[in-house]
Amino acid sequence: MKSVAVILARGGSKGIPQKNITPINNKPLLEYTITAAKQSNVNEVWVSTDCQNIKSVAIKLGVNVLDRPKKFATDSSKSEAALLHFSDKVSFDFLIFIQPTSPLILSHDINVGLDMMYNQKEKYDSVFSVYKEHWLPRWSKNKLPINWDTKKRPMRQDVDEVYVENGAFYITTKDALHKSHLRYSGNIGIVEMPFSRSFQIDTPDDLSLIKRLING
């Protein structure tokens, strides 16, 4: 069973120009997820990109590159479109979709997910990474409590914890991807990661936080 990791890294980021190769501790952001993937048990590591600069960085880091058509790399393009394009070009049984904006991912996280997919007893079609969240009082933009009553504010320990997607990675089979056109479907499992490694870089503030976390 062939497992292939793909990192979708387009060049058109607006919030942080050239975000996927912006330097963090003298390394391009993309290098962190590439390193985790290369150190994991996946058989191949690929970067799918529409950007020549990202392509050059990926090649220097020793991974395969698939040129992504511009129509799959716009602000409104869904990741699933790029994943389906990738699946039409590359042979695999298990696809590990890793987001370059999650530089705190470790090879161990990926391996846990892969082991779950190989588990014949559970027979997962997909798994994805999460962190566990304790209850917090959330409010709408209209300043209304969401799913709780101010007159009956619950104790945190009395409310069930929930799992939150951290966006680090998703694993699915080629068959499940083609049937559902989704990154996860069927019998779904989760890989819990600590909250401290579940941050994504989407804004300049996120970038500053990650730099501090990586630099210690």
Q: For residues 182, 105, 202 and 148, what is the CA-based torsion angle, rounded to 10 degrees?
A: 70
29 near 67, Cβ under 8 Å?
no
Pick the catalytic residue from 153, 156, 183, 197.
153
Neighbours of 203 (CB within 10 A): 12
CA proximity to 133, closest of 210, 79, 190, 211: 190
Q: Where are the alpha helices (DSSP H) in 96-165?
A: 107-118
Strand order in the sheet with 64-67: 64-67, 44-49, 3-8, 94-98, 162-173, 126-133, 188-192
d(CA 24, CA 57): 14
d(CA 181, CA 149): 39
153 catalytic per annotation: yes
Paired strand residues for 95: 4, 172
Task: Give the catalytic positions in this structure.
Answer: 153
